[in-house]
A and B are shown apart, each in its own frame.
Chain A
Amino acid sequence: MPTIRVLYIDDEENNLNAFKAGFRRQYEIYTAISAAEGLKILENVVLHVIIADQKMPQTTGVEFFKSIAKTHPDPVRILLTGYTDIEALADAINHGDIYRYITKPWNDLELHNSIKNAYDAYKAKIDLREKVSELEKTNDELNRFIYSISHELRAPLVSAMGVINVVKMEGLYDSCGEYWSLIETCSNKLDYYIQKTLQYYKNNKIASENTLVNFEKLIPELINLYSYTDKDTHFHVDIKQDSDFYGDAFRIEVILGNLISNAIKYQKEGEGDKKVNIIIEVKNNAAEIVISDNGMGILNEHLEKIFTQFFKIKTNHGTGLGLFIVKEALNKINGKITVSSDLSEGTAFKITIPNGK
């Protein structure tokens, strides 16, 4: 049992002495004959529990507790009061931040239990504060860690990708069999993982914020961004917008970006006429978006699992993160997604995102 430091303030010397006599074996006891004296002790000793008598000349117990509410919030307060002091009690409960009140004359066992409980409350309060600051620190570190991933880890990878570019420009790409292309595939994959990890993290972390979303501008940007690896795909974009749309720009970009990139990636092998259709209809209450392709399609038995983390199938080279992130991001903004697919026709994703106007 750690030492519990208790301050008792009472204008009657007899009570102070009785208290000391009764409890000095259990606690480290400080006594004061007035609020002013109590304050002096409070300023020099880290106290756990303060007991104050209500009826004192000059400053009452409640007034004393009120006066130290801001400067010494930690010690737990117990008020000693006579049976009839209903007003003082109400005041104490409403303004004094008092943990418990004890009627006078006190019963030793009751007071003893109260002090013990008060100390537990004190400890819980301090522990909680330490936990919170520990958590804040961890959170802070995590943020910095994520930032390092986005730079320190990615920077050298991107340098390697730059080397591959130079190799291509110098016409050396095919000079040693398929080695360069293997390196390129691995680098791209690693880069993709880093980017998805960041997207997932940001989706969890960043609060949703609605701004005006301009699909007419966003969609061509996304197509441009994701189609640089595959210039053969034909995009058909149809946007009907009767009303302004307000939504979480970051998440909408993540959702549409992942779906568009999937539509481009999972084409049928040898398909001469690769098509991706993007149809958007913005209404007053929601935006409905359909992204469909004539790609390889998804097996019926896989449809239920495609939104789970790390689900992937043998025949393609996914990471099992893209659609999982889509689903997570939609959850954050109360959106919905359905999918229909046919191995011969291709796949269509239908998304509904509420208009935050």
Chain B
Amino acid sequence: MLIDDNEVDLKINSKIINLSKLFDEIITCLSGDEALAYLNKHADDEQSLPDFILLDIQMPEMDGFDFMEIFKKFPEKLKNKCLIAMLSSTLDFGDIKKAEANPYVIKLLKKPLFPKELEDVLNKYLEA
């Protein structure tokens, strides 16, 4: 699942993930709200839940950190299934530290997304 308010980035990153054949299906969301609505709707349907979420930090209204605040209230089962990496073009020290400190964020990836980096993270955290 990709969450990003920037349509260009959504398009590029979907393409990169498609081309690198790392996932079978991609769900794109233009806002944190949209993503939360999806997760809520499919909370009991493990098949529809994403294995991996790439979350942009800077978004209007609900930013990546706001999203995490709500995400952490989901049931353990869902949180274990959906691993989250943040994705941002930020160079801001505070943002980087904050992302690294969040217990549910496995990694802060930097834009532009390199397939190699994504693959490394997946190999490390996603088994099979």
B contact residues around A202 at 8 Å (CB): 93
**In chain B, what residue has the closest Cβ to A206?**
B93
Complex Cα distance, B89 from A154, in Å, reads 7
Classify the secondary structure of A's interface with B. Answer: helix
**In whole angstroms, what is the CA distance A273 to B125 when docked?**
36
Given A162-B12, A166-B15, A151:B113 Cβ within 8 A? no
As a 0/1 sequence over residues 42 to 68 of chain B, the CB contacts with chain A under 8 angstroms (1 = contact) are: 000000000000000010000000000
Q: Which of B15, B20, B89, B113 contacts A155 (CB 8 A)?
A: B89
B115 to chain A, nearest CB (A): 7
The verdict on B23 contacting chain A, using a C-beta distance below 8 Å, is no
The residue among B9, B91, B111 with the most chain A CB atoms within 10 A of its own CB is B91
Q: Decide if A158 touches B115 in the complex (CB within 8 Å).
A: no
- Cβ of A182 within 8 Å of any chain B Cβ, yes or no, is no
**Interface size (B, Cβ < 8 Å)?**
20
A159 sits at the interface (CB 8 A): yes
Do A165 and B58 contact each other (CB < 8 Å), given the known contacts A151-B92, A154-B91, A202-B93? Answer: no
- Specify which chain A residues have a CB less than 8 angstroms from the CB of B58 in the assembled complex: 151, 155
Q: Kindly list chain A residues whose C-beta atoms are within 8 Å of the C-beta of B13.
A: 162
Closest to B94 in A: A147
Residues of B contacting A151 in the complex (Cβ-Cβ under 8 angstroms): 58, 89-90, 92
Q: Does A219 contact B (CB under 8 A)?
A: no
Q: Say whether B90 contacts A162, CB under 8 Å.
A: no
Contacts of A198 in B (CB 8 A): 91
**Residue from A163, A164, A166 within 8 A of B19 (CB atoms):** A166
**Is A150 an interface position by the 8 A CB rule?**
yes
Given contacts A155-B6, A159-B8, contact A150 B15 (CB under 8 A): no
* Minimum distance in angstroms from B5 CB to a CB of chain A: 10
Any chain A CB within 8 A of the CB of B74? no
Instruction: Write out the residue numbers on chain B whose beta carbons fall within 8 Å of the beta carbon of A235.
Output: none
With the chains together, A118 CA to B91 CA distance in Å? 50
Question: Does B105 touch A at the CB level, under 8 Å?
Answer: no
List the A side residues contacting B111 at CB < 8 Å: 155, 158-159, 161-162
Residues in chain A near residue B16, CB distance under 8 A: 162, 165-166, 169
Is A87 interfacial (CB-CB < 8 Å)? no
Known contacts: A161-B112, A162-B112. The answer to whether A250 contacts B93 by CB under 8 A is yes
Task: Digitize A153-175: 1 where CB-to-B-CB distance is under 8 Å, 0 elsewhere.
Answer: 01111110111111001100000
Q: In the complex, are the beta carbons of B90 and A150 less than 8 A apart?
A: yes
| Nearest residue, chain B, Cβ from A157 | B89
Cβ of A158 and Cβ of B89 under 8 Å apart?
yes
Q: Which residues of A contact B15 (CB under 8 A)?
A: 166, 169
Contacts of B8 in A (CB 8 A): 156, 159, 162-163
Q: Contact between A159 and B6 (Cβ–Cβ < 8 Å)? A: yes
Q: A169 and B6 in contact (CB under 8 A), knowing A150-B91, A155-B89, A159-B12?
A: no
Q: Give B59-86 interface residues, CB cut-off 8 Å to A.
A: none
User: What residues on A are CB-neighbors of B115 within 8 Å?
Assistant: 165, 169
Interchain CA distance A301-B114 in the complex, whole Å: 41
Tell me the bound Cα distance from A250 to B91 in angstroms: 13
Please indicate the chain B residues that have their CB under 8 angstroms from the CB of A169 in the complex: 15-16, 19-20, 115
Closest A residue to B56 using CB positions: A155
Cα A147 to Cα B57 in complex, Å, equals 14
Which residues 268-312 of A have a CB within 8 angstroms of B? none
When distances are taken between beta carbons in the complex, the residues of chain A under 8 Å from B89 are 151, 154-155, 157-158
Report B45 CB to chain A, min CB distance, Å: 32
- For this complex, 9 residue pairs linking A to B, each with C-beta atoms less than 8 Å apart, are A159-B6, A159-B9, A159-B112, A162-B13, A163-B12, A165-B12, A166-B12, A166-B19, A169-B115
Q: List the 5 shortest-distance A-B pairs measured between CB atoms, nearest first.
A: A162-B12, A162-B112, A158-B89, A161-B112, A158-B111
